[in-house]
Amino acid sequence: MHREALSLRPLSHPYRSSSLGNLAVAVGTRFGQSARIEDLEEAISLNREAVTLCPLGHPDRSTSLNNLASDLGTLFDQSGRMEDLEETISLDREALTRRPLGHPYRSIPQ
């Protein structure tokens, strides 16, 4: 259903990033059950696209950054590649800058 929803939201659609994120979460969940690295790679790719659709100032940017960081952290756990961990840290830092002190989701991963 998430793939179908995404197909209904072309590149210019204002909620395409949400559909990308929803599909990424579902595919990432499947990775958690199947351990197929292809699923994790697809989730990362979908999250990267979602981030590109959420430029600086976009209200969903911190969530998209956090989702990508989470999947890259999982990839680091699988691969042990330091560049995956470094990118995770960088994305998490940027997400924090989008959630200043007092932000209701600052301490809650999304």
Domain boundaries, the chain: 2-97
Whole-number percent of the chain with pLDDT over 90: 76
**What does the mean pLDDT of the chain come to?**
92
pLDDT band at 109 (very low <50, low <70, confident <90, very high): low
pLDDT at 100 > cutoff 80: no
Domain 2-97 has CATH 1.25.40.10: yes
Name the one residue in this structure whose structure tokens are 């790679």.
41
pLDDT at 53 over 90: yes
Distance set, CA 24 to CA 12, 16, 29, 55, 79 (Å): 19, 12, 8, 19, 19
Question: Binning pLDDT at 50, 70 and 90, where does residue 110 land?
Answer: low
Q: Which residue has the tokens 């999947």?
A: 71
Query: What percent of the chain shows pLDDT beyond 70?
Result: 92
Statement: residue 45 has pLDDT above 80: yes
- DSSP alpha helix (H) spans, the chain: 2-7, 16-34, 37-52, 61-79, 82-97
**Rounded to whole angstroms, how far apart are CA atoms 87 and 33?**
25
Q: Which residue has the higher pLDDT, 56 or 100?
A: 56
CA-to-CA distance for 72 and 100, rounded, in angstroms?
Answer: 23
